[in-house]
Amino acid sequence: MSRIGQYFKIGDVFRYFIRVFQKPDPNAPTNINLRTMHIINRISILMFLFCILVMLYRAFIR
């Protein structure tokens, strides 16, 4: 694959979205800071996806 093609691979992005919303590993070390970071990350991803949907809706309506 070309060097430019590597920058535009989006498969990794979709795999990250799936991994973020999976059930956490019970054996992984955890604390309140880590849990809070993951919750904030999930909220920001959901807000981003919602905004993309709103922008697409507005683009097709106008």
CB 45 within 8 A of CB 22: no
Residues 45 and 20 sit within 8 Å (Cβ to Cβ): yes
Distance CA 38, CA 33 (A): 9
Checking if the pLDDT of 14 tops 70, the result is yes
> Is the pTM for the entire model greater than 0.75?
no
pLDDT in tens, 20-61: 778 777 887 778 888 898 889 889 989 998 999 999 999 999
Q: How far is CA 40 from CA 3, 13, 44, 47, in A?
A: 33, 18, 6, 11
